[in-house]
Amino acid sequence: MLHIRNYINGGFHNPNGDQWIDNVNPATGDVYSLIARSTETDVDLAVQAAQQAFPAWRDMGHKKRSEILMAVSKGIAKHLPDLALAESNDQGKPLWLSTQVDIPRAVDNMSFFATEILHTSTDTYQTDNHTLNYTLRTPIGVVGCISPWNLPLYLFTWKIAPALAAGNCVVAKPSELTPMTAFLFAQICIDAGIPPGVLNILHGYGAECGAAIVAHPDVKAISFTGGTVTGKHIATVAAPMFKKLSLELGGKNATLVFKGVDIAHTARHVARAAFTNQGEICLCGSRILIEQDIYDEFKAELLKETQRFVVGDPLLESTRTGALVNKAHLDKVLGYVELAKEEGGTVLTGGKTVEIGGRCASGFFMSPTLIEGLPANCRVNQEEVFGPVATLMPFTTEAEALQIANSTQYGLAASVWTQNLSQAHRVAQNLETGIVWVNSWLVRDLRTPFGGVKASGVGREGGTEALRFFTEVKNICIQI
């Protein structure tokens, strides 16, 4: 069976304790590879390698670093079909989705930051005729990048690319639920000429390997994407060590639908926002707020669109909903459906496991689910479900819609559907989130700041924000 080994100092290594974790394909339930169970000792080796590699990588200059990272981008593009298949097998997502979205985005992440560093500048301030200040931005050193299972290579490279481009060396850990594309990516980095030690990829459990990266005194910054509870824990360890911290955490995003919209068009996109990738995207709109005047008409159209999210084998072109990432997660999501019933909700469609049969007979599938009749403050409307479950809530005024939308601890993203331009601006400004889409969802320009407020995180990724995070700034004041 294939062993997913650690990539340290330019080569592949078994974990120090020779312990391995089963890697399960969620669509079939089969164990199809073994994952290195890394510990503090492996993390130590990786950090040492990164420290040794740092001076040469830092001093290599932007142009050469850019060329190497472009070669990585091209390597991902060259292996797109293999990577897309690996992502689908590991995560359960439809193959067409990883082919059209996940892996192309990993290609773009690498090329975006490879070229971004060729065009950056820093500030100067002339205090008077005799004094000049200028700011320098220098790489931090060894940084840790920890990413989740829902968009594996997409989010892994979204952190690694700016960290490396800025001149840092990286110790990275993908989720142990979806390590395969990170493993294949290591070979692509070797082929592209990334020098040994510049990037190190460790596999294993978050609480062991991830925690050891966070706590390592020589890892100077942590970029983490994952759940809010894990983020909070990481902050308690890293903050007293004065590490730089970027936390991209959970969401409970609202979709606000106002009267006057094209019902059929909007329902199609609202369903896409709720159920893409089995609803396992931090940006999914899981609370759908609908203006009372159009509630019944919109609900009927949304039901039709939801039922079009055919559940099936992720490898089939016709499948729109693949498998949930593992059995424990499926049970958790189904548990929220039961809780919704206890809280007074009515399941309009879905809410059950789906038997696929054939090679997927033991997979973890459930049907996209719409629930109505729940109060805004109940647990199902307050906690992140992170699966194919969305709730419908009516509102009568814009103020009420905003009040409901802002009533959770989270503040990642929202999408607003309206034909009224003033309303679009007003609502967007008053939503307590880091990202607002108007008449769209998940349209991404990699230059824009990305991240959440409240319990959805601290800091921003994307464009110059990411390069700022991965550099230290120094002001130099010169008396002329």
How many Å from the N-terminal Cα to the C-terminal Cα in the chain? Answer: 67
Q: Which is nearer to ligand NDP, 43 or 290 (CB)?
A: 43
Nearer to ligand NDP, 268 or 332 (CB): 332
* Residue 464 CB-density burial (10 A; 0-12 exposed, 13-18 middle, 19+ buried): middle
Question: How is residue 360 annotated by DSSP?
Answer: G
Q: Is 141 left (phi over 0), alpha (psi -120 to 50) or beta?
A: left
282 is catalytic: yes
What is the DSSP annotation of 370-397?
EEES--TTSHHHHS---SSEEEEEEESS
Q: Single out the residue of 26, 94, 452, 463 in contact with ligand NDP (rule: CB under 6 A).
A: 452
Q: Which stretch binds ligand NDP (CB under 6 A): 36-44, 145-153, 265-273, 298-306?
A: 145-153
Stretch that binds ligand NDP, among 66-74, 102-110, 173-181, 470-478 (CB under 6 A): 173-181
- Catalytic annotation present for 189: no
Question: According to CB under 6 A, which one of 87, 176, 291, 465 is a site residue for ligand NDP?
Answer: 176
Here the tokens at position 375 are: 């109060």
Q: How far apart are CA 377 and CA 194, in angstroms?
A: 50
Structure tokens given for 15: 């974990």
143 in contact with ligand NDP (CB under 6 A): no
Residue 358 beta carbon to ligand NDP: minimum distance, rounded to whole angstroms: 28
Nearer to ligand NDP, 176 or 372 (CB): 176
Adjacency order of strands within the sheet including 142-146: 11-13, 6-8, 199-201, 169-173, 142-146, 221-225, 244-248, 457-458
Instruction: Considering the complex, state which of residue 178 and residue 266 has its C-beta at the smaller distance from ligand NDP.
Output: 178
Stretch that binds ligand NDP, among 47-55, 119-127, 225-233, 330-338 (CB under 6 A): 225-233
Burial profile 376-390: b = 16 or more Cβ within 10 angstroms, e = fewer: bebebbebbbbbbbb
195-220: burial string, b at 16+ Cβ within 10 Å, e else? bebbbbbbbbbbebbbbbbbbbeebb
Find the catalytic residue in 145, 189, 209, 282. Answer: 282
CB 206 → ligand NDP: shortest distance, Å?
Answer: 2
Rounded Cα distance between 149 and 97, Å, is 15
Here's the x/- map for ligand NDP, 402-441, by CB under 6 A: it reads as: ----------x-----------------------------
Beta carbons within 10 angstroms of residue 477's beta carbon = 10
Contact pattern for ligand NDP over residues 244 through 283, marking x by CB under 6 A: ----xxxx------------------------------x-
Select from 75, 139, 210, 394 the one that contacts ligand NDP (CB under 6 A): 210
Binding site for ligand NDP (CB under 6 A): 146-150, 155, 173, 175-177, 205-207, 210-211, 214, 225-227, 230, 233-234, 248-251, 282, 384, 386, 412, 452, 457
